[in-house]
Amino acid sequence: MSAVELRGFGWRHAGRKAWAVRGVDLRVERGERVLLLGPSGAGKSTLLAALAGLLADDSGEREGTVEIDGLDTRKARERVGIVFQDPESQLVMSRAGDDVAFGLENRGVPRAEIWPRVVAALRAVGFDHPVDRSTAALSGGEKQRLALAGALALRPDLLLLDEPTANLDPVGASLVRSSLRAVPPDTTVIMVEHRLEPVMPFVDRVVVLAPGGGVVASGSPGSVFGRLGPSLAADGIWVPGQPLPPPRRAPALAGDELLTADQLALSPRLAPISARVRAGEALAVVGPNGIGKSTLALLLGGLLRPSSGQVVASSLLAGRDAARPPHAWRAAALASRIGSVFQDPEHQFVASTVYDELAVGPRRLGLPLPVVDSLLSRLRLDHLARANPYTLSGGEARRLSVATALAAAPRVLVLDEPTFGQDRRTWIELVDLLASLRDEGHGLVTVTHDLEFADALADRRMAL
């Protein structure tokens, strides 16, 4: 009997007209390693949630069946381990070791076995902090590694991975991919990833979902990419070997300094650092997880008060406020001059629809609303205008968070992992959009682990 079988499966979120995924017929044999592909919004994360038995009947409309060895997945949750796109959605304890032990305790694992399994799982994913490390003190990538350790410690029959390396630096991503070799051969693995070359050695089969519903391709990576590579790339899938457009370099030398950071620090999250953000320049901030990149972004964006040092932005604000640091500005003044895109998109959503979310800034600042329709179209969110932001896929939520910052037309834009969860087509469109803003004289700061993105856009890199 197959380990996993879907027959005519579909799911529509409550309050949505369009189906998140529909018409999926798929059979995955026990022990297979399957890579699930499709453009952003094709329903990959929804399908994984269904396989994990996490789609409650009162939260949407279901079609068809999803089973593990003939048992409805809602009755087989204890056989499944899952790592979500957002690791914070599954971290429940204040200390790292306790978080991994939590699932084992709930499964009734004997006490003597729990901590050896916790330590082994943490070692497998390259988590080098002590077991009493505070989860609140971890970077996004470290939290994702911890979430994976929690899933591996359960020794599930079916392991579901929703972009497990998206928030990791190259070293951390390599450690996570290496840890997959330790998965027992009879464990079925279904993985969603956007960047494919590094995971190809772990994959037996590729399954491609169509945005409109159903499976459009299934087979070995060589056969699927050999037959459909160019068309899949055109649809937004990161097909190995398909070239990206050439880098977009600034057409002129950088202009005036818009932000100046002198010995900026936030103890203990960021050691003192100095930086400059210039008009007409894209600065990429790179470095390993936990080094303080996101903290630097929040400080530059005026969203945190530094423990020492200062940010000067006198050229962005006139009058007596010009001498004040950005963290002391009024909210409207800050949003219209320095826009921020958080690492977690949902941390900045405040409205009940995508359209209203985009309109928050323009309405507060008295800007014309046609900018909302323009951004919806440019970032391919127009068909989701009436959707709740919290029902979007990871890639769609990231595009919305970028669009909300752009809607207020700030002179400086600070983006934390802007390409997380993006398919190939939207990645190219995002690079083009940001390059156009840079060329119009805006100053850009991008915190990123995506070195291809830095190569394509950045005029200057700062490595922490």
For residues 124-135, one letter each, b for 16 or more C-beta atoms within 10 angstroms of the residue's C-beta and e for the rest, the string is: bbbbebebebeb
Alpha-carbon gap, residue 121 to 17, rounded angstroms: 42
pLDDT of 314: 79
Place of tokens 């409205």: 351
* CATH fold match for the domains 4-234 and 257-463: yes
102: left (phi over 0), alpha (psi -120 to 50) or beta: alpha
* Predicted model pTM: 0.84
Domains of the chain, by residue range, sit at: 4-234, 257-463
How many other C-beta atoms are found inside a 10 Å radius of the C-beta of residue 217?
19
Burial class of residue 14, CB neighbours in 10 A (0-12, 13-18, 19+): exposed
Determine the CATH number of domain 257-463.
3.40.50.300
d(CA 357, CA 349): 7
Would you say the C-alpha torsion 48, 54, 60, 64 has a positive or negative sign? positive
**Residues 365/355, Cβ–Cβ less than 8 Å:** no
Q: Angle of helix 96-106 relative to helix 111-124, nearest 10 degrees?
A: 130
pLDDT for 2 equals 58
Please give the backbone phi and psi of residue 232, each rounded to the nearest 5 degrees, phi first. Answer: -65, -40
Paired sense of beta strands 80-83 and 158-162, if any: parallel
**What does the CA dihedral 228, 230, 233, 239 come to, rounded to 10 degrees?**
70
Predicted confidence at residue 125, as pLDDT, reads 84
DSSP state of 16: -
pLDDT along the chain (464 residues), means of 10: 85 87 94 92 90 91 93 91 82 96 95 96 88 88 86 93 82 79 87 88 93 88 92 90 88 88 92 94 92 94 95 82 86 89 86 94 86 88 91 84 89 92 86 92 94 94 95
Is the CATH code 3.40.50.300 the one for domain 4-234?
Answer: yes
